Homo-oligomer: A and B are copies of this chain.
Amino acid sequence: MSTVSKEDYLRVIYKNLEDGILVNASLIAEQLQISNAAVSEMLRKLSNEKYLSYVPYRGIQLLQKGKIEAVKLVRRHRIWETFLYEVIKVPWYKIDEEAENLEHSSSDDLIDRLEGFMNNPEFDPHGHPIPRKNGFVPKQKKLVKLSEFKVNKSGFVRKVNDQSSELLHHLFEIGLTIGKKFSVIEKRNFDNSMVIEIENRNHTVSEKLAQNVFAEILR
């Protein structure tokens, strides 16, 4: 049977695979803040229960059973995030943490009702696709990392990494949120930081920050 713990493992695995990242035990340990030993044990269990296949040092793949569970959980997570943000107006940088708990505590029926209440949104407030009830995951246009934008290019923010609430807090402060238009004014070679214009104001952003923002290039 699936439990809160197992669901969290599956969601982390799914999310990383979704981004094309190789998922091994230590990555999970780091992201869930759990010891490597505990993760090792849990992976054995999840593997025995046919949720995933795991070849040490080579990475994890979700099996059908695990993928179905993971997609369900991601669906719950993202529907809650969207609902909290759009309907309840919970601040952008707080929704992930809140959804982290709610995702394990709501019936399928409630999730479907929330989805209907919002008129079936396709993407969450971080720009991540919301899996539909039937498991289909909406596709996104080709996106480019902000850090790869050249000087004078403009774009629309379409996705941000939601791993760090501090990052989100800062992005929110400078107005770099989903849908916003920006232009790259300047790029410094020695540290790859950039100056970008958002709503007529200039902001300097580090390379690290720019690597966590994904945008659609204009023209």
Q: Is A33 close to B, CB under 8 A? A: no
Among listed A41-49, A87-95, A157-165, interface-contacting one: A87-95
- What copy number does this chain have within its complex? 2
Contact of A110 among B84, B105, B107 (CB under 8 A): B84
Contact of A98 among B87, B97, B98, B107 (CB under 8 A): B107
A109 vs B97: C-alpha distance when bound (angstroms): 12
Q: Is A114 close to B, CB under 8 A? A: yes
Residues of B within 8 A of A114 (CB): 88
A84-133 residues with Cβ-Cβ distance < 8 A to B are: 84, 87-90, 94, 97-98, 101-102, 104-107, 109-110, 113-114, 117
A94 vs B107: C-alpha distance when bound (angstroms): 10
Looking at the assembled complex, report how far the CB atom of A180 sits from the nearest CB atom of chain B, in whole angstroms.
Answer: 24
Given A89-B113, A113-B89, A117-B88: A105 touches B102 (CB 8 Å cut-off)? yes
The answer to whether B113 touches A106 (Cβ under 8 A) is no
A110 vs B95: C-alpha distance when bound (angstroms): 10
Contact of A88 among B84, B89, B98, B113 (CB under 8 A): B113
A110 vs B110: C-alpha distance when bound (angstroms): 17
A153 vs B88: C-alpha distance when bound (angstroms): 43
Given A88-B117, A117-B88: A106 touches B110 (CB 8 Å cut-off)? no
Residues of B within 8 A of A109 (CB): 90, 94
A84 vs B106: C-alpha distance when bound (angstroms): 11
Looking at the assembled complex, report how far the CB atom of A41 sits from the nearest CB atom of chain B, in whole angstroms.
Answer: 22
Residues of B within 8 A of A107 (CB): 97-98
Contact of A101 among B84, B88, B90, B106 (CB under 8 A): B106
Can you pick out 6 interface pairs between chain A and chain B where the beta carbons lie within 8 Å of each other? A87-B117, A88-B110, A89-B113, A90-B110, A102-B105, A104-B105
